[in-house]
């Protein structure tokens, strides 16, 4: 598998990689098996062979609020990302192209890193004044606090890589600067936009902290629902496993599609490779 | 303006008038409730209420315990309530009543014919009386009892332990190989506090003395904690220092532990045919906790002060907690709160047998809530953290309880 | 208004509404006695909340746990991530496939990760504990010796992939010439790594460290899913402390003061890290 000259090194490297793959994959395999274990075997750690049962999946699909939670998570993430792109793309372009914004770049990074602990208190109080607790609007606003900076930061890196000649040429052709941005540059960074959108979506979809404190039964998102399978009825392990899979599978597929753009985005133009 | 006017009239009269005049318009009552076995029963019974009262729709917002406190808070802070009815855990009673979240129910209770408020077990009903006003009526109790594998006790000719010392000996003797005498719940915070306080009572201790002085670090408390730790080391499963309710229950249900201190209504669940205990169903019995005085848990029904449907809310509460339905609820497996229900032969027969209800009545006779006061929630967390530190060997019993005493003082600042 | 300002107007407006205003509110809150259950009695108390929180053993303990957590987790992730990146870079077959799998953990919701490990490591029904038991090993994952380390390890499982992602890209972008020269000069692998790879990778390492460390300060989900802060107070992190103070005990003023102090600590660390990395580079 490896091209090390030394046989010992090749063997050791192979073992290390296989071990890493195992450690990463094992929890996924386990949670899948748990989801199809017949409920009466749920707590047995030593049973690996059994007739699969779809009882847990059926219960989650038809007798729980999980479908509503999925819809909420999807709605919140989609709207958050949409707003983030609308506000973030022009700003990222400005930060990338115009003088005088070098501090702003790091301001954006600072906003991205703001601990939720300091924002959650005012959010909670403000949203209750506005009567927006248990509403998806409140969660969207909260998620914007980290998705919007991330998306903006992400896009700066992509705009940086677009040659400046592109809009100069467009302006010579009679476009205004904004038209050049809108009609020429934006299409040129389409992969970046897609990657930023997906990354922002994943961040919003995965959030527990804000959603835990700002949602109620109508607006509850999937991560909060997952945490809620641990009740005084005992842990409903099989159903929780189903909910976990529902929460992670779409995200794994989505993020796989943007892997190669992630680096440039996360580096945000601060890291030049 | 409407709501203000209605407050002027004695509420039940208003509702009677409304009914008499036939102007009862459709009302929706929202209830926040915890997802526990008793809720399943309440939900089922409520179908009947809605069939009988087509003008009132009861909607439940069921959730895990963790989510409830801040939900209730936001609903109560808002100009109009999200929840017309909340269920109140006993540590919250004073806090919520003093914060003005709850509507006094005395007027309603007095005006509801046949409600028989005095029938509630006094120790339970009194929890919701704050400053002379009644802010809640009992929903279900979760007083702690000693759940044992009676088959093992009988087989070995063991007596039911009456004191903590007996209990210590018995569970240590029962521990053998990978079978353990006691499945304990030393998880930080609420769980260990709820369990250990029974040991504290058995030693004659309390959190505060009659004058309100903190006595949680006195000799009785230190002894209680030392006994608890000894027993944990001698008779609880290995690596169970972070166990809470599910783990301990599973250990007992799966036959790897002989006893646990738990909610009395876990007994029927353990003994249920085809239930969680499988073939062991029927072998479990409930006794009073060693020492006799038990930690009392209670959920009560309350109406929020900012609800716009108080009359309808009381209509529902008085129905679900009234003598008739309370009996039906207990027969279906709910945890009793009324004396008449506890002593009803019909309940014994259709429920879980006379023994269970007699023992439960005995538990309720001498039981006290986990904690009270405005900061009960914080106090439980603070003490529970120190207890867990002692059990995990980070502090001695005395150090932990001294720190707990200091923590209570901070919590009550 | 110049176009460049027009283009940032939406961003500035939205961020002001959702961040600057809340931040200012939080600052104000930290000087008030603001208890949610006594909302009619809110009044300013000057620095009292700061004085109280700064001397609260529970806060100091949470801060210590958090710093231990951040330091432990990020260091392990750095070492593991760099090692894995060096390995994957030398992989001749299935590199894309291996990389995709190894990156997977960083995309999934942390509460799911926390819960999966809670049950995998459970002393009663945990698969890991069960098979370690068959080997005669008994590990109390959530006990007093291990709990914080277990939470660190959960973080390592989820976030080493982030380091891997950064370093793989960094390695691929390195110029080839210095490595050729080293090979011609007969430099061994260790010398090549320490004299060429590591210095050239330094900018990426610093950025990855800062991003990851700042993110690690936010740890909440793993604690919420597994130990709830126990045993004792060994795994109470600063986020959990603030959650508890604000939303279980309803003491908003003190929670805000704690949050402000958290930001101060983070700022000091970031400045120190940036300074340190600059010194390091100028020496190199």
Instruction: Give C189-235 pLDDT, tens digit per residue.
Output: 888 899 899 999 988 898 889 889 999 999 999 999 999 998 999 99
Beta carbons of B92 and B370 less than 8 angstroms apart: no
pTM: 0.90
User: Cβ contact (<8 Å) for B61 and A217?
Assistant: yes
Rounded to a whole number, what is the distance in angstroms from the first to the last CA of chain A?
Answer: 27
From the candidates B66, B76, B249, B388, which should be mutated to test the interface with C, based on the most C CB atoms within 10 A?
Answer: B388
Is the CB of C247 less than 8 angstroms away from the CB of B388? no
Query: In the numeric block, which tokens belong to residue A270?
Result: 């601060």
pLDDT, residue A231, reads: 63
Mean pLDDT is highest, among A106-110, B7-11, B42-46, for B42-46
Take residue B202 and report the two structure tokens written for it: 């058995």
Whole-number CA gyration radius for chain C: 23
pLDDT grade, residue B12 (50/70/90)? Answer: very low
The residue of chain A nearest to residue B40, with distances taken between CA atoms, is A233
Q: In the prediction, which pLDDT does C279 show? A: 60
Q: What is the mean pLDDT of chain C?
A: 91
Percent of chain B with pLDDT over 70: 94
B247 touches chain C (CB under 8 A): yes
How confident is the model over B112-142, as pLDDT tens digits?
A: 999 999 999 999 999 999 999 999 999 999 9
Of B58-72, B151-165, B293-307, where does mean pLDDT reach its minimum? B58-72
Q: DSSP assignment, residue C89?
A: H
- Could you tell me which residues come within 8 angstroms of residue C188 by beta carbon, excluding any fewer than 6 positions away? none
Please tell me if residue B66 touches chain A, with a CB cutoff of 8 Å. Answer: yes
Is residue B203 a contact partner of residue B221, using CB atoms and an 8 Å limit? yes
Q: What is the least distance, in Å, from the CA of B263 to any CA of chain C? A: 21
Whether the pLDDT of residue C181 is over 70: the answer is yes
Q: Extract the tokens encoding B347.
A: 């309940």
- Kindly report, residue by residue over A160-172, the tens digit of the pLDDT: 888 888 888 888 8
Cβ atoms of C211 and C190 within 8 Å: the answer is no
pLDDT for res A109 = 80
Residues in C touching B190 (Cβ below 8 Å):
none
In 3D space, the residue among C58, C56, C77, C54 whose CA is nearest the CA of residue C66 turns out to be C58
> Residue C276 pLDDT > 80, yes or no?
no
> What is the least distance, in Å, from the CA of A120 to any CA of chain B?
13
Question: Helix count (H) and strand count (E) of chain C?
Answer: 14, 2
Chain A partners within 8 Å of B64 (Cβ)? 227-228, 230-232
Say yes or no to pLDDT of A82 above 90: yes
pLDDT digits (tens, 9 = 90+) for C74-97: 999 999 999 999 999 988 888 889
Identify the H or E element spanning B401.
helix B397-411
Higher pLDDT, C238 or C40: C238
Please report all neighbours of C, defined by 3+ CB atom pairs within 8 A: A, B
Nearest CA in chain A to B69: A213
Handedness of CA A127, A129, A130, A134 (dihedral sign): positive
A-chain residues within 8 Å CB-CB of B67?
Answer: 212, 224, 228
Burial annotation B233-263 (CB, 10 A radius, 16+ → b, else e): ebbbbebbbbbbbbbbbbbbbbeebbbbbbb
Query: How far is it, in rounded angstroms, from Cα B272 to Cα B7?
Result: 47
What are the tens digits of pLDDT across the range A58-69? Answer: 989 998 889 999
Mean of all residue pLDDT scores within chain A: 88
Report residue B8's pLDDT band, with 50, 70 and 90 as the boundaries. Answer: very low
Q: What does the block give as tokens for A107?
A: 């301001």
Res C64: pLDDT: 96
Across the range C263-279, mean pLDDT stands at: 83
Contact B250 A233 (CB under 8 A): no
B389: nearest CB among C228, C231, C248: C231
Is C207 in Cβ contact with A206 (below 8 Å)?
A: no
- Cβ-in-10-Å burial (0-12, 13-18, 19+) of B290 comes to buried
Query: CB distance A117–C242 less than 8 Å?
Result: yes
Task: Label residues A153-170 b or e (16+ Cβ within 10 Å = b).
Answer: bbbbbbbbebeeeebeeb
CB-nearest to C218 from A3, A116, A223 is A116
Contact with chain B for residue A130, Cβ under 8 A: no
Classify B86 as helix, strand or coil: strand
> Which chain B residue's Cα is nearest to C119?
B247
pLDDT band at B158 (very low <50, low <70, confident <90, very high): very high
Average pLDDT value for chain B: 90
Choose the closest CB to A232 out of B34, B74, B77.
B34
Both structure tokens of B222: 């230190």
Confidence of residue A105 (pLDDT cuts 50, 70, 90): confident
Instruction: State residue A269's pLDDT score.
Output: 57
Residue B147 β-bridge partners: B260, B286
Residue A166's pLDDT is: 87
Interfacial B residues in 236-265 facing A (CB < 8 Å) = 245-246, 249-250, 254
- The Cα–Cα gap between B339 and B316 comes to 21
Q: Is B114 exposed, middle or buried (0-12, 13-18, 19+ CB in 10 A)?
A: exposed
In angstroms, rounded to a whole number, what is the distance separating the alpha carbons of residues A177 and B104?
67
pLDDT confidence bin for C280, thresholds 50/70/90: low
The two beta strands, B367-369 and B294-296, are: parallel
Q: Which helix (DSSP H) or strand (DSSP E) does residue B8 occupy?
A: helix B2-8
The size of the A-C interface in CB pairs under 8 A is 245
| Nearby residues of C192 by Cβ (< 8 Å), 6 or more positions away | C179, C182, C183
A198-226 residue pLDDT tens = 999 999 999 999 998 888 878 899 999 99
Cα of B95 to nearest chain C Cα, Å: 7
Q: Do C124 and B69 touch (CB under 8 A)?
A: no
Decide if A196 contacts A88 (C-beta within 8 A). Answer: yes
Cβ separation B250–C129 shorter than 8 A: no
Closest Cβ opposite residue B63 in set A128, A228, A235: A228
Q: How far is CA B327 from CA A84, B117, B141, B319, C24, in A?
A: 56, 14, 14, 12, 55
């Amino acid at each position: 598998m490896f091209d090390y000259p030394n046989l010992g090194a090749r063997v050791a490297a192979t073992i290390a990689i296989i071990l890493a793959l195992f450690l990463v994959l094992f929890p996924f395999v386990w949670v899948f098996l748990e989801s199809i274990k017949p409920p009466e075997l749920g707590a047995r750690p030593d049973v690996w062979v059994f007739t699969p049962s779809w009882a847990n999946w059926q219960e989650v699909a038809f007798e729980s609020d999980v479908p509503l939670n999925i819809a909420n998570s999807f709605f919140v993430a989609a709207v958050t990302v949409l707003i983030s792109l609308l506000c973030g793309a022009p700003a990222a372009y400005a930060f990338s192209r115009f003088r005088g914004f070098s501090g702003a770049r790091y301001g954006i990074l600072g906003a991205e890193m703001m601990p939720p602990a300091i924002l959650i208190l005012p959010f909670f109080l403000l949203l209750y004044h506005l009567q927006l607790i248990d509403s998806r609007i409140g969660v969207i606003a909260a998620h914007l606090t980290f998705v919007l900076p991330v998306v903006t930061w992400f896009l700066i890196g992509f705009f940086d890589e677009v040659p400046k000649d592109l809009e100069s040429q467009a302006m010579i052709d009679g476009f205004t600067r904004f038209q050049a941005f809108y009609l020429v540059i934006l299409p040129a960074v389409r992969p970046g936009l897609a990657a930023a959108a997906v990354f922002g979506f994943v961040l919003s979809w995965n959030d527990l902290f804000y959603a835990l404190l700002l949602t109620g039964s109508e607006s509850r998102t999937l991560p909060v629902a997952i945490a809620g399978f641990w009740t005084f009825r005992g842990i409903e392990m099989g159903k929780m496993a189903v909910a976990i899979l529902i929460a992670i599978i779409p995200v794994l597929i989505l993020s796989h599609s943007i892997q190669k753009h992630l680096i440039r985005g996360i580096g945000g133009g601060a890291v030049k490779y | 303006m409407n709501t203000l006017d209605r407050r002027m009239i004695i509420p039940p009269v208003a509702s009677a008038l409304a009914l008499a005049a036939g102007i009862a318009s459709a009302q929706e009552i929202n209830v926040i409730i915890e997802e526990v076995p008793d809720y399943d029963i309440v939900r089922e019974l409520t179908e009947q209420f809605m069939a009988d009262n087509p003008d009132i729709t009861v909607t439940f917002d069921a959730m895990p315990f963790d989510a409830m406190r801040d939900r209730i808070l936001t609903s109560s802070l808002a100009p109009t309530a999200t929840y017309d009815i909340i269920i109140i855990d006993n540590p919250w009673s004073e806090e919520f009543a003093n914060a003005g979240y709850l509507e006094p129910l005395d007027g309603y209770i007095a005006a509801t014919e046949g409600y028989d408020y005095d029938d509630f077990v006094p120790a339970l009903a009194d929890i919701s009386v704050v400053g002379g006003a009644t802010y809640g009526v009992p929903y279900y109790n979760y007083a702690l009892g000693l759940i044992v594998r009676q088959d093992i006790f009988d087989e070995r000719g063991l007596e039911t332990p009456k004191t903590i010392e007996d209990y210590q000996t018995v569970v240590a003797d029962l521990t053998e190989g990978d079978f353990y005498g006691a499945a304990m719940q030393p998880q930080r915070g609420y769980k260990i506090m709820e369990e250990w306080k029974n040991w504290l009572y058995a030693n004659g201790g309390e959190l505060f003395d009659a004058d309100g002085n903190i006595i949680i670090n006195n000799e009785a408390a230190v002894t209680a904690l030392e006994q608890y730790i000894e027993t944990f080391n001698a008779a609880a499963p290995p690596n169970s220092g972070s166990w809470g309710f599910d783990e301990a229950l599973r250990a007992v249900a799966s036959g790897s532990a002989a006893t646990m201190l738990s909610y009395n209504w876990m007994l029927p669940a353990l003994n249920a045919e085809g239930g969680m205990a499988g073939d062991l169903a029927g072998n479990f019995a409930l006794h009073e906790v060693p020492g006799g005085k038990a930690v009392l848990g209670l959920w009560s029904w309350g109406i929020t002060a900012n609800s716009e449907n108080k009359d309808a809310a009381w209509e529902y509460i008085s129905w679900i907690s009234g003598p008739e339905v309370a009996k039906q609820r207990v027969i279906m497996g709910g945890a009793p709160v009324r004396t008449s229900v506890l002593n009803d032969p019909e309940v014994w027969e259709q429920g879980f047998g006379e023994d269970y209800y007699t023992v439960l009545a005995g538990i309720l006779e001498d039981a006290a809530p986990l904690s009270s006061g405005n900061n009960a929630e914080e106090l439980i967390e603070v003490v529970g953290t120190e207890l867990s530190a002692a059990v995990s060997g980070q502090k001695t019993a005395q150090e932990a309880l001294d720190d707990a005493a200091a923590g209570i003082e901070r919590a009550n600042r | 208004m110049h176009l460049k300002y027009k283009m940032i107007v939406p961003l500035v407006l939205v961020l002001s509404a959702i961040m600057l205003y809340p931040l200012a509110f939080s600052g104000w809150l930290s000087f008030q006695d603001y208890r949610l259950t006594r909302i009619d009695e809110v009044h300013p108390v000057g620095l009292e909340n700061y004085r109280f929180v700064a001397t609260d053993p529970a806060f100091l303990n949470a801060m210590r746990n958090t710093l231990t957590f951040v330091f432990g987790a990020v260091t392990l992730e750095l070492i593991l991530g760099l090692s894995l990146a060096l390995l994957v870079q030398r992989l001749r077959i299935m590199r894309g496939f291996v990389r995709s799998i190894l990156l997977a953990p960083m995309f999934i919701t942390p509460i799911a990760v926390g819960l999966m490990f809670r049950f995998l490591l459970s002393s009663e029904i945990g698969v890991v504990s069960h098979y370690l038991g068959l080997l005669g090993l008994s590990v109390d994952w959530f006990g007093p010796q291990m709990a914080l380390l277990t939470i660190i390890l959960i973080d390592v499982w989820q976030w080493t992939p982030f380091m891997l992602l950064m370093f793989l890209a960094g390695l691929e972008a390195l110029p080839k010439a210095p490595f050729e020269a080293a090979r011609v000069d007969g430099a061994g692998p260790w010398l090549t790594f320490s004299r060429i790879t590591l210095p050239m990778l330094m900018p990426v390492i610093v950025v990855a460290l800062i991003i990851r460390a700042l993110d690690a300060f936010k740890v909440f989900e793993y604690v919420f899913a597994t130990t709830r802060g126990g045993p004792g107070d060994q795994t109470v992190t600063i986020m959990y402390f603030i959650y508890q103070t604000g939303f279980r005990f309803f003491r908003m003023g003190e929670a805000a003061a704690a949050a402000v102090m958290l930001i101060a600590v983070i700022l000091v660390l970031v400045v120190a890290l940036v300074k340190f990395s600059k010194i390091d580079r100028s020496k190199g």
